[in-house]
Structure 1
């Protein structure tokens, strides 16, 4: 992830917040690329190794290079994966430590919206792909379908109008099919397809929903942890009232991601 230091500093907090839900998307996204076994993969913004793990489990790669700017996340990815086919290296999404036309597939999960120049990044990803190589990236549908974030931000804006300006659904251009398709095509990718991937996000109880928001990793948790204690508790209470609880106390939600597929 390319973010200021501290925003994505805790691998554990990231895993508890959205990493656990990203894993389900990655397991569906990797096979959709239809990349043959024995290929060379690059995972851009590999984070804690969620997508890298899916590639190694689902795609039988010859080599996988995970690139990230966070030392903490790289260490977590290496610890999670532990596979001789994988290497995790520090680097920037728009300046990959990979040669021209040397990769068969480039993948990226939940990274695009946090890059300072997504257009430059996608041009870089196309550079490292061989002709006909596969692109696969996914982002949360911040505007509508990522329900855990929508519940939080809608409640926050009701209590604090200034929170609306921090809402990822308003700040993120790249969370709708049209802009995502145009972005990939403008970088030179062909046969671009954008589709929804919905995964269930069932929380055991209110604490299971709320505690990850106290980790400070990501825009919404950073907002929550920055509140004064009284304001934080008021927000928690409003969120609790808005969530649907099953008789056993669990909270059923859905996380929608937009999956972008293309060819170099």
Structure 2
């Protein structure tokens, strides 16, 4: 039975983060033969995509959760190593990497500015520093199906849940640009990257949804049986959109930023 944090993440987000990784790496445009660092690598979606894209590069992934790294090691590539460590206190020498990047992490950190400072410290002058975050409010249709239904059906609590999940520091390209500019990075560029989330049926969607965010799981499991059934039925109606249950493809968007570490 799949129950670890890494297993839950893989069911809910791993397949989507792998799709996003390809688009993000094209945006980052890291040196093909360089030393690359993936900060907050999780189960290794971005790290391993970088290994495939840059087979001549030396790539390191670092994450605070050993459970995630255990999953990443199952698919380790010859040019990849994984370390355990904190994004706010990276265990590397100054100017160790040619490019440093992070996928879907900044909005979940207690101190993203400190993490960016550390990314700068370990990146060589002239190196690339980049990050991407989900556009939660405007770009995650699979979340909105649930959160809008919860807000309508359960007024106070549902509205509060939606507000908490959508309230993140970096919610648009301008916010990311300002973070990079305030840190003194140069040649800053931003983009919105889109992928498709393809679900086999409503049950596939529902399992991904419940694994996507702890607040969603906690909210749904706190409901009594009748409330839970009403909410799930409402979301199902939104998912099937007047058709039979089956495959659906929903758009998911992420916000990306890159800049150059000044010499």
Q: Is TM-score (shorter-chain normalized) higher than 0.5?
A: yes
Q: Is the 8 A contact 2:143 2:209 kept in 1?
A: no
SS of the counterpart of 1:66? strand
Q: In the alignment, which of 237, 247, 252 is matched to residue 255 of structure 1?
A: 252
Structure 2 equivalent of residue 75 of structure 1: 70
Indicate which of 151, 173, 177 corresponds to 1:157: 151
Q: Which moved more, 1:115-124 or 1:218-227?
A: 218-227
Match of 2:101? Answer: 107
Change (3 A) 1:57 1:20: same
Which residue of the other structure, out of 132, 135, 147, is the alignment partner of 2:129? 135
Indicate which of 30, 39, 43 corresponds to 2:38: 43
Provide TM-score, normalisation by structure 2. Answer: 0.90
| Cα deviation, residue 243, structure 1 | 2.2
What is the DSSP-based 3-state SS (H/G/I as helix, E as strand, rest coil) of the residue aligned with 2:132? strand
What is the aligned length? 256
Q: Which has the larger radius of gyration?
A: 2
Normalized against structure 1, the TM-score is what?
0.89
Q: Does 1:199 align with 2:195?
A: yes
Matches of 2:114 and 2:237, distance apart in 1: 43
Deviations 1:222-258 (A, max 9, x none): 4334444433222211111222445572222110111
Match of 2:12 among 10, 14, 17: 17
SS in 2 for 1:243: helix
Q: Superposition RMSD on alpha carbons, in Å?
A: 2.0
CA deviation after TM superposition for structure 1 residue 216, in Å: 7.3
Does the 8 Å contact 1:102/1:129 carry over to 2? yes
Structure 2 residue runs without a partner (length 5+): none
Aligned residue for 1:196, secondary structure, equals strand
Q: Which residue does 1:235 correspond to in 2?
A: 231
Counterpart secondary structure, 2:41: coil
Please state whether the residue corresponding to 2:87 is helix, strand or coil: coil
- Whether 2:47 is the aligned partner of 1:52: answer yes
Offset of residue 59 of structure 1: 2.0
State the Cα distance separating 1:65 from its structure 2 match.
1.4
Taking structure 1 as reference, are residues 216 and 113 closer, same or farther at Cα in structure 2, changes over 3 Å only? closer
Instruction: Describe the shift of the 1:37–1:150 C-alpha distance in structure 2 as closer, same or farther (beyond 3 A).
Output: same
Are 2:141 and 1:177 aligned?
A: no
Measure the CA separation in 2 of the matches of 1:200 and 1:151: 15
